[in-house]
Amino acid sequence: MKPSNTYTPAEPLSQLPGLSADHLSQLQQCGITTIHKLHTQTQSPQQRQKLAVQLKLHQKYINKWAALAELSLIPGVGTKNCGLLLHAGVGSTGQLAQMPSERLHRQLLRLHVAMLGQNSLCPTVAEVTQWVIQARRLAHR
């Protein structure tokens, strides 16, 4: 069994955090059944707007899902940590690539303490550093 923080192209859309059952069903009815497919169909503002119109949803939902899908593509981040990054204010691979690892780790630590009342589940500085390195590699492709 693969670890939950490793992305695979066929990862089902149901693994993306923050999707209600209704929204998941709507996306699946549009043929979007994997995180990869969501990512490829929400690359541009025009694609996101078209999907929002098609689903009769506010574009903020599509933008959030697109950001989560993009972040989940980063090796090591996956679906386990993409929501954490988004809550910390990181909305794209390019943005993550520009973040100083130590500063981001401090933000994540504060977020963990504020939301969970503990810091034991917070990613380590080494993990966050790897995310930033991977994001830089993806940003240069």
User: Which DSSP string corresponds to 62-129?
Assistant: HHHHHHHHHHHTSTTTHHHHHHHHHHTT--SHHHHHTS-HHHHHHHHHHHHHHHHS-STTSPPHHHHH
User: Quick check: 97 and 132 in contact, CB under 8 A?
Assistant: yes
**CA-to-CA distance for 52 and 45, rounded, in angstroms?**
10
Q: What is the pLDDT of residues 101-139, one digit of tens each?
A: 999 999 999 988 887 777 778 899 999 999 999 999 988
Reading phi first (left if > 0) and then psi (alpha if -120 to 50, else beta), residue 136 is in: alpha
Query: What pTM does this model have?
Result: 0.88
In this structure, what token pair is assigned to residue 50?
Answer: 């078209």
Residue scoring higher pLDDT (112 or 62): 62
- pLDDT for 4: 43
Q: Which residues pair with 34 in a beta bridge?
A: 12
**CA-to-CA distance for 126 and 101, rounded, in angstroms?**
8
